[in-house]
Structure 1
Amino acid sequence: MPAWIDQLLKLLALPEFGLSTVFVVSFISATLIPLGSEPVVFGLVKLNPALFWPTILVATAGNTLGGAVTWAMGLASHKVVDRYQHSKHHLRALDWLERIGPKACLLAWLPGIGDPLCAVAGWLKLPFWPCLAYMAIGKFARYLTMTAALVGLFGP
């Protein structure tokens, strides 16, 4: 096995660092399963402050990939949404998303609406790569802001 893969596996290994846990929880929390990743991110940073940036980056990667899976689920969900296509709220939300486009995925970090937003972006067939980029930017900003605030609030 190449040395870089061995180093990567050591870095992500449990329980030495816990970055793999951060990745998995962040990934799952970006799907439609209600789970928050912030306590895991904050817990790891609190236990090992030197891992602040690796934790933020791993959480962002996991959450963004989870958002991509949610986008793909939305792409495949035309039949489910067809039942609600005539509701006033549905039409208004679709109109807003179609006007904003992939930039709406910046809001993918919002609790409660961010994950369904990714699904609807996929359902509308908004371009995948721009949506993914905007998801990553929004999710990175959330993890950075929240973790930095918590570390400052509950400092060493």
Structure 2
Amino acid sequence: MLTLMMVALVAFLSATLLPLGSEALVLSYSCQPPSLSLHITANLWMLGLAATLGNTLGACVNWWLGRYLLVYQHKSWFPVKEAGLQKAQKHFQRYGYWSLLFTWLPLIGDPITFIAGLMRVPFLLFTLLTAVGKGTRYAVLIYAANQLC
């Protein structure tokens, strides 16, 4: 249980604007003996669920920051300048909601979640698409690691 909580916490933190990654931790816990017992399979499902839930909740923090902190965009400490915001919004409008399926990608994933908040993407739609993208990533990662270990 402690392992799942740690995975969820690291996945949460890595989905925020902090420069962390959860993949190495998930990989280390997903390598299981070659037995296909129900217990190990259930553990892998729980591992994927914990990582997906934590990572999606972290993305929700970014959405909230984008949605509610735009009033501070003219402050010197605000992380994105006006030109950057306009460029990001233009890209988001070009690719639309479906870009949320790619929020798991390094470097561009976290900004997409922030911009989705700025663009006032409905929270339920944001959460569903983000969870599908992030969940698929963890499922593929865990499956591949379990096959190779």
Using structure 1 for the length normalisation, give the TM-score. Answer: 0.78
Check if 1:71 corresponds to 2:63: yes
* TM-superposition CA deviations, 1:15-62 (whole Å, max 9, x none): xxx111111111111100111111111112225781111101111011
* TM-superposition CA deviations, 1:88-118 (whole Å, max 9, x none): x643431231243332211110111101110
Q: What is aligned with 1:27?
A: 12
Q: Which segment is superposed worse, 47-56 or 115-124?
A: 47-56
- Which one-letter code corresponds to 2:139 in the other structure? L
Alignment of 1:1-156 (within 5 A): 12=1, 14=2, 18-46=3-31, 50=40, 51-79=43-71, 81=73, 84-85=81-82, 87=83, 90-153=85-148, 155=149
* Cα distance in 2 between the residues matched to 1:146 and 1:99: 29
* Cα distance in 2 between the residues matched to 1:80 and 1:131: 23
Instruction: List alignment gaps of at least 5 residues for structure 2.
Output: 35-39, 75-79
* Cα distance in 1 between the residues matched to 2:19 and 2:137: 17
Question: Does the CA contact (< 8 Å) of 1:26 and 1:37 recur in 2?
Answer: yes
Q: Per the alignment, in what secondary structure is the counterpart of residue 8 of structure 2?
A: helix
User: Compared with structure 1, are the counterparts of its residues 120 and 112 closer, same or farther at alpha carbon in structure 2 (3 Å cutoff)?
Assistant: same
Question: Does the CA contact (< 8 Å) of 1:109 and 1:139 recur in 2?
Answer: yes
* TM-superposition CA deviations, 1:115-153 (whole Å, max 9, x none): 111011101111111011110000011111122222222
- Which one-letter code corresponds to 2:127 in the other structure? L
Question: Does the CA contact (< 8 Å) of 2:32 and 2:146 recur in 1?
Answer: no
Q: What is aligned with 1:8?
A: none
Task: Tell me how far 1:77 sits from its aligned partner.
Answer: 2.8
- Which one-letter code corresponds to 2:138 in the other structure? Y
User: Compared with structure 1, are the counterparts of its residues 131 and 33 closer, same or farther at alpha carbon in structure 2 (3 Å cutoff)?
Assistant: same
Residues paired across the two proteins, number: 137
How many percent of aligned residue pairs carry the same amino acid? 36
